[in-house]
Structure 1
């Protein structure tokens, strides 16, 4: 799972987010492929700029320049800046939420489902820093719980409460706390994996950025949901589904 600090820091500027599924379909007429290629470049640029600056600070011409697309062409694909960001965020997080559902489809223990989802989220953020930045920046927005990841966390935590696997006094506040733990862990993992200075590296004996960080974060999340420490750590270390 871990990347070397140098390679991770370098990829943060060169990494490409995966293209939407519609852009990877079988060979089609040149005009259709060109239009979809333009849309993909616009989405990719919007995602990167939003991850770096947030939606409010990005203008449409920033997106078209980053995508190397004519300003007028933008409106052939999206009605507004809000429209492209909504499409980009929905695709990114729905796609990943679907991936988590597939990974956890064979699991019956709600605690293991949550642990697997937390671990894969941290692992992906480490591999794909732009994606991780986007998740942190947009994850606390007012509509975050309506996205695929938020809805699945709500569903999985409620499933554990119903099964009496999780014990929480206030489900909504617990959900906010768990979300905060996950985002803080993502930020810490990305920061320490990208840091190469001796001063920062010297802090690693404290446990930050070391191997098994994803498992340790998952264990803390499970404890927030009411599991005892020993049981939370056991579940968090179970082999990941293939």
Structure 2
């Protein structure tokens, strides 16, 4: 079993500041000086906690993806229906973006284009879609799953954008995005509404 890496307080400040800068700029280009200033640390501290400044974006994105995957999996651990797990994931993403707008903006800018973030869509969500097809919840051909994953990612990120732009509350965007996605995948309209409106679990912390 691979031992999970623990981050120091200074390292977390550097990563959180980097995510905020990427979200604000919408660009891959940030300097060590910008990062040190945003994190409130010396340049030497930044270099100490980065394996390579050139790999900073990939490090931030990979950490975000793996952390969210783990938290969603933990939150979904008692949900048997793959369709319900998928809907819960959509809603948790949208709620977290409301609670942490920089996190949400980072996903909007890079969630569909950065290879380091591909795990967000091709990991557990893809597996849940396939499981829902095999369980008879979704009416999809298995070879359409990559397109279904793309639709899922687009619906989730658009829901986040609606919230961050003040056009929807996180509850509205989460429920509507989940319901419409389930219906697009072939789930009965009444069942899709029921699942999308079910009580939302908390996004569990990973120790």
Q: What TM bracket, shorter-length normalisation?
A: 0.7 to 0.9
Q: How much does 1:55 deviate?
A: 4.5
Q: How much does 1:159 deviate?
A: 1.2
Cα distance in structure 1, aligned partners of 2:45 and 2:200:
44
Partner in structure 2 of residue 188 of structure 1:
162
Give the aligned CA root-mean-square deviation in angstroms: 2.2
Correspondence for 1:46 among 18, 23, 37: 18
2:67 pairs with 1:95? yes
2:195 pairs with 1:235? yes
2:133 pairs with 1:161? yes
Structure 2: segments with no counterpart, 5+ residues = 203-207
Cα distance in structure 2, aligned partners of 1:132 and 1:233:
25
Correspondence for 2:49 among 66, 70, 77: 77
Deviation digits for residues 64-102 of structure 1 (CA, Å, limit 9, x no counterpart): 222233323332221323433222222223222211111
Cα distance in structure 2, aligned partners of 1:45 and 1:210:
24
Deviation digits for residues 15-62 of structure 1 (CA, Å, limit 9, x no counterpart): xxxxxx835xxxxxxxxxxxx333222112111101112352312221
Do the aligned partners of 1:165 and 1:227 also contact (CA within 8 Å) in 2? yes
Partner in structure 2 of residue 171 of structure 1:
145
Alignment of 1:134-153 (within 5 A): 134-143=106-115, 146-148=118-120, 150-153=122-125
Cα distance in structure 2, aligned partners of 1:241 and 1:127:
15
Q: How much does 1:117 deviate?
A: 0.9
Q: How many residues in Structure 1 have an aligned counterpart in Structure 2?
A: 196
Cα distance in structure 1, aligned partners of 2:58 and 2:170:
35
Cα distance in structure 2, aligned partners of 1:216 and 1:60:
41
Do the aligned partners of 2:47 and 2:53 also contact (CA within 8 Å) in 1? no
Structure 1 residues 236, 50: CA separation in 2 closer, same or farther (over 3 Å shift)?
same
Q: How much does 1:149 deviate?
A: 5.1
Q: How much does 1:226 deviate?
A: 1.4
2:92 pairs with 1:120? yes
Give the TM-score, by structure 1 length: 0.72
Structure 1: segments with no counterpart, 5+ residues = 1-20, 24-35, 194-207
Cα distance in structure 2, aligned partners of 1:218 and 1:226:
13
Cα distance in structure 1, aligned partners of 2:180 and 2:55:
37
Cα distance in structure 2, aligned partners of 1:150 and 1:182:
14
Structure 1 residues 213, 53: CA separation in 2 closer, same or farther (over 3 Å shift)?
same
Give the TM-score, by structure 2 length: 0.83
Question: Does the residue aligned with 1:168 lie in a helix, a strand or coil?
Answer: coil
